[in-house]
Each structure stands twice: as structure tokens, then as C-alpha cells.
């Protein structure tokens, strides 16, 4: 069961690391994001969401490693 949990945590980490940075590029170029130096709430909210997803990816990877050790 621990190996299955580790695999799920690694899959979650991989998904977040692959998907969210690509999403950031789309958000940064969206017209609703404003211009560089003058960003909107739309941009800031999405950056916070992406940051949380990346932090959770790191936490998932660490938890996966700890489960296997």
C-alpha cells in the first residue's frame, strides 16, 4: 500500500510541475492580466494558485520519497 501511495504522490507532483508552468505562460499573455509592471487581480490570483500547486508538488514529492525510505 505504501508503494501505491508513493506512486500517487509522484504522479501528482509530476502533473503539477508539467501543467501549471504552461498555464502560467497563458495567463501572463492574457489581455486580462494587464501589462508587465501593471498587473491585475486576475494575474495575481492565478499566480497564487500556480504557486500553491508547485508547493504542493514539492510536498508530494518529498512525502513520496519519505514513504519509500
> For 12-38, what is each residue's pLDDT tens digit?
999 999 999 999 999 999 999 998 889
As a whole number, mean pLDDT of residues 48-52 equals 96
| Rg of the chain (C-alpha set) | 15
Return the sign of the alpha-carbon dihedral for residues 52, 53, 56, 62.
Answer: negative
pLDDT at 55 over 90: yes
pLDDT of residue 39: 93
What torsion do the CA atoms of 18, 21, 24, 29 make, to the nearest 10 degrees?
-100
The pTM score is 0.85
pLDDT of 67 above 90: yes
Mean pLDDT over each residue of the chain, to the nearest integer: 94
From CA 15, how far away is CA 1, in angstroms rounded?
Answer: 21
Amino acid at each position: 500500500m505504501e508503494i501505491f501511495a508513493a506512486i500517487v504522490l509522484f504522479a501528482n507532483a509530476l502533473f503539477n510541475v508539467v501543467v501549471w508552468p504552461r498555464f502560467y505562460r497563458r495567463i501572463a499573455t492574457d489581455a486580462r492580466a494587464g501589462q508587465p509592471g501593471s498587473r491585475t487581480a486576475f494575474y495575481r490570483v492565478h499566480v497564487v494558485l500556480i504557486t500553491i500547486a508547485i508547493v504542493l508538488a514539492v510536498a508530494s514529492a518529498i512525502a513520496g520519497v519519505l514513504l519509500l525510505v
